[in-house]
Amino acid sequence: MRLGVLDVGSNTVHLLVVDAHPGARPLPAHSHKATLKLAELLEGDGAISEEGAERLSAAVAEALRVSEEKGVEALLPFATSAVREAPNAERVLGRVAQEAGVKLEVLSGTDEARLTFLAARRWFGWSAGRMLVLDIGGGSLEMAYGVDEEPDVAVSLPLGAGRLTAGWLPGDPPDPADVGALRRHVRAEIARVVGDFTRLGPPDRVVATSKTFKQLARVAGGPARGGEGRVLSRTALQERVPGLVAMPAAERAGLPGVSQGRARQLAAGALVAEGVMDLFRVAEAEICPWALREGVLLRRLDRMPTG
């Protein structure tokens, strides 16, 4: 059957259309994206602005139209941190349901981490052993660790690249004092939860998902391993971070693999990636092409009857 996964994130509204059935690998059929940058359309108290709500409703309506054109039988719509943490989330969700005709399911941060872990586990398989999975989104950082499909520990922190850029790095290029303050903040937040993971022992494989990690792997010159995804080295990343945070967004957009829409927030994303790899003592992380959207899809397929 043809399924659609509608991901309302802090940066984009992304519709992924796949042909899938239980027990088979999902086959991508179509992808539709709308750049929203919801993390930058928040009021001082974190509420979604009127402009943000209007743009969100329009983007969801357009995604629904595309899904119908592509023959989607069932749509799996969900929203993450920017909507989840907004004090006016209920009103905004009601507006989207009324205007766009789509009822968004709001995932918790823990569910984000768990579903992303599931996607990475299915991608790498059981031979990957104990996995640590890292994901930097626009609004939050997700981390999960385990040996099965359900992680033993899953944590979400408000350290998304878009959120931190809007709140901590207003300059372009960022002011060095702001960079230093953000670096200390990021490491202090991550350090609070490191013990929850390290007490379980070292992972056999460290996996990184999300556009931020993919871009950083390209920028840091991460090689492909055995024809699979790229590898991000902590040493290579640490060498590139000072230059990344010092350059303006327009210059970052000219780097390999960096899109213009995400260039400004790559500095904050690099500080988060460097911090988490350093504090978890990760020498290198393998980039996984599957993440939260695939996790939502796989969980839905698991619950469908095989007949």
Cα–Cα distances (Å) from 89 to 4, 142, 262, 294, in that order, read: 23, 21, 25, 25
Q: Which residues contact 287 (CB under 8 A, 6 or more apart)?
A: 207, 208, 209, 213, 214, 217, 222, 229, 230, 231, 232
> Distance (Å, rounded) from C-alpha 81 to C-alpha 49?
15
For the whole model, what pTM was predicted?
0.94
**170 alpha carbon, distance to own chain's centre:** 22
Q: Which of 45, 75, 106 is the last residue of a domain?
A: 106
The count of structural domains within the chain is 2
Give the per-residue pLDDT at 225. Answer: 62
Looking from the CA of 269 toward its CB, the CA atoms found within 13 Å total 28
Q: Phi and psi of 240, rounded to 5°?
A: -90, -25
> Does one domain contain both 135 and 241?
yes
The burial class, CB within 10 Å (0-12 / 13-18 / 19+), for 147 is middle
Walk along the chain (307 residues) and give the pLDDT tens digit of each residue: 999 999 999 889 999 999 998 888 999 999 999 998 887 788 888 899 999 999 999 999 999 999 999 999 999 999 999 899 999 999 999 999 999 999 999 999 999 999 999 999 999 999 999 999 999 999 999 999 999 999 999 999 999 999 999 999 999 999 999 999 999 999 999 999 999 999 999 999 999 999 999 999 999 987 766 545 699 999 999 999 999 999 999 999 999 989 888 999 999 999 999 999 999 999 999 999 999 999 999 999 998 876 5
Are 36 and 58 part of one and the same domain?
yes
Question: Residue 306 has what pLDDT?
Answer: 67
| Among 291, 297, 296, 285, CA closest to 142 | 291
Q: What is the pLDDT of residue 307?
A: 54
What pLDDT sits at residue 227? 46
pLDDT in the model for residue 226: 52
Q: Please give the pLDDT value at position 221.
A: 84
pLDDT at residue 79, as a whole number: 97
Of 73, 119, 280, 268, nearest in space to 179 by CA: 268
Domain of residue 255, residue span: 109-292
Instruction: Please tell me the predicted confidence (pLDDT) of residue 23.
Output: 84
Backbone angles phi and psi of 243, in degrees to 5: -70, -40
Are residues 165 and 281 located together in one domain of the fold? Answer: yes
In a shared domain, residues 101 and 129: no
Position 297 in a domain: no
Which residues share a beta bridge with 42? Answer: 48
Based on the domain organization, do 70 and 113 belong to the same domain?
A: no
